């Protein structure tokens, strides 16, 4: 298992010497495949299709991406960021901050500013990077042949800070933090009683999925830090066990899960941090990244992701920056499309020409693509999936035991490129990520990683299966998503 490593080389590595930008910052969270407790990537054996795992994710996609209604309440949450009116214009800050590349900026000799020619750089531009702790006992690692299930890392809550772990999810907008009162949650867990700055409320918080997983509890506020970037009074869902506790007390903030999936409960990560838009927050709290934007804390109002595969180290989340050491070529950007969800921006969604096989005309037709780091696979409408697999030789709907919406192809087939079109460019996926393994033990049929699942607003959910091949940049200032070839 390869969780995210948030290491402790603070300002010394990349502090800008510019006096203009000294109050803005950026941070890199690096991931190392050798760590069991501190790395980012979680891997499973792909030799045989894991039906319960992927059926559970498919069910969650159906529930998570139900049709959005839009309306005044969702619009008000978007306007909390900039204080302006207008449905789409409210998303963007009043001026554009050029993307900050951590590999091309001037750096100080000493992060504390002792050798900076322009004076102290303050907290600007620090970079967190370092080796992960080793733990050979992690049960989910398959170092020889893996499927990459999720990406997660460290987060600190409270004063003094208590470290827990969260999945970094661009498809949701809530922060969910586990506490010591949870009987079946993954450690490390947050103890509200030990935080001097913890405040609970009487406002309920609920997330429920079709597969009966989820969290219920109260909205709470506390100091939250990710990679040295801090938001005070960050709102989050503090889920609780259904016990007769006093509402608003620290003991009331505990979490109970009926069934665990996609970042809740029994996974390697404890909680979840959503990197989506305010309108999609069940908690009605401003997401962590949006609070950093509001504070004008970042070098650039962007974050970017590099995802390794199959046990290799190097995955990272760059907050307020891009890292050109992780990609080649130019970043190509595509505008967000709020029209797909009734002019309210819930997701990082962009228009796509659709999926194609072997350079043919896109079989699926145009899609509305949600770039979702919290989803492992790719989900399109049932009709689109049928059309795509019709282009793949000898593919067919999967057997009943695999599940509805899944398709198979011969395991010994040499697949031609499967590509997703943005603008006029085709973005090919790696065939290793498309193959989910044998349909059953000993079968000569393998299951494909593009699944048929109808969603609200006719969205296509583009997960890690695609993102591993393409460095992904989420640009809040210009309301766009960009891709460059991942190294």
Enumerate the active-site residues.
Answer: 169, 372
Rounded Cα gap, residues 407 and 452, in angstroms: 9
3-state secondary structure the chain: CEEEECCCCCCCCCCCCCCCCCCCECEEEEECCCCCCCCEEEEECCCECCHHHHHHHHHHHHHHCCCCCCCHHHHHHHHHHHCCCCCCHHHCCCCCCCCCECCCCCCCCCCCCCCCCCCCCCCCCCCCCCCCCCCCCCCCCCCCCCEEEEEEEEEEECCCCEEEEEEEECCCCCEECCECCCCCCCCCCECHHHCCCCEEEEEEEEEECCCCCEEEEEEEEEEEEECCEEEEEEEEEEECCCCCCCCCCHHHCCCCCCCCCCCCCCCCCCEEEECCCHHHCCCCCCCHHHHHHHCCCECCCEEEEECCCCCCCCCEEEECCECHHHEEEEEEEEEECHHHHCCCCCCCEEEECEEEECCCCCCCCCEEEEECCCCCCEEECHHHHHHHHCCCCCCEECCCCCCCCCEEEECCCCCCCEEEEECCEEEECCHHHHEEEECCCCCCEEEECEEECCCHHHEEEECHHHHCCEEEEEECCCCEEEEEEEC
Q: Per the structure block, which two tokens stand in for 472?
A: 């992904």
401, exposed or middle or buried, with CB in 10 Å at 0-12, 13-18, 19+? exposed
């Amino acid at each position: 298992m390869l969780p995210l490593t948030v290491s402790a080389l603070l300002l010394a590595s990349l502090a800008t010497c510019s006096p203009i930008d000294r109050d803005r910052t950026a941070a890199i969270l690096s991931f190392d495949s050798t760590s069991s407790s501190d790395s980012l990537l979680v891997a499973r054996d792909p030799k045989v299709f894991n039906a319960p795992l992927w059926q559970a994710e498919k069910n969650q996609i159906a529930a998570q991406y139900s049709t959005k209604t839009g309306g005044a309440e969702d619009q008000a949450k978007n306007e909390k960021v900039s204080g302006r009116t207008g449905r789409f214009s409210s998303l963007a800050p009043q001026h554009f901050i050029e993307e900050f590349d951590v590999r091309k900026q001037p750096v100080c000799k000493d992060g504390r500013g002792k050798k900076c020619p322009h004076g102290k750089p303050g907290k600007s531009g620090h970079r967190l990077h370092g080796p992960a702790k080793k733990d050979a006992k992690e049960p989910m690692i398959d170092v020889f042949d893996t499927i990459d299930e999720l990406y997660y890392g460290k987060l600190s809550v409270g004063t003094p800070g208590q470290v827990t772990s969260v999945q970094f999810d661009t498809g949701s907008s809530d922060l969910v933090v586990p506490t010591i009162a949870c009987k079946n949650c993954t450690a490390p867990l947050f103890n509200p009683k030990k935080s001097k700055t913890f405040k609970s409320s009487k406002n309920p918080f609920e997330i429920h999925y079709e597969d009966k997983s989820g969290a219920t509890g109260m909205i709470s506020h506390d100091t939250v830090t990710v990679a040295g970037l801090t938001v005070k009074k960050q709102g989050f869902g503090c889920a609780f066990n259904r016990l007769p506790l006093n509402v608003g007390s620290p003991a009331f903030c505990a979490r109970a899960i009926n069934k665990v999936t996609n970042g809740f409960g029994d996974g390697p990560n404890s909680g979840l941090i959503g990197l989506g838009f305010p309108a999609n927050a069940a908690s009605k709290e401003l997401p962590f990244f949006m609070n950093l934007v509001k504070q004008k804390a970042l070098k650039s109002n962007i974050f970017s992701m590099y995802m390794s595969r199959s046990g290799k180290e190097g995955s990272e989340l760059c907050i307020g920056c891009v890292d050109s050491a992780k990609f080649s070529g130019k970043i190509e950007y595509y505008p967000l499309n709020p029209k797909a969800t009734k002019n309210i921006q819930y997701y990082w969604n962009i228009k796509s020409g659709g999926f194609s096989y072997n350079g043919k005309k896109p079989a699926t037709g145009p899609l509305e693509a949600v770039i979702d780091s919290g989803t492992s696979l790719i989900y399109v409408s049932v009709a689109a999936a049928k059309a795509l697999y019709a282009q793949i030789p000898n593919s067919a709907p999967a057997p009943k035991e695999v599940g509805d919406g899944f398709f198979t192809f011969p395991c010994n087939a040499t697949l031609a490129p499967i590509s997703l079109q943005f603008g006029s460019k085709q973005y090919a996926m790696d065939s290793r990520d498309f193959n989910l393994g044998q349909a059953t033990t000993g079968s000569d049929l393998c299951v494909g990683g593009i699944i048929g699942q109808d969603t609200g607003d006719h969205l296509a959910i583009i997960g890690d299966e695609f993102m591993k091949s393409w460095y992904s940049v989420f640009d809040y200032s210009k309301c766009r998503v960009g891709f460059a070839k991942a190294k």
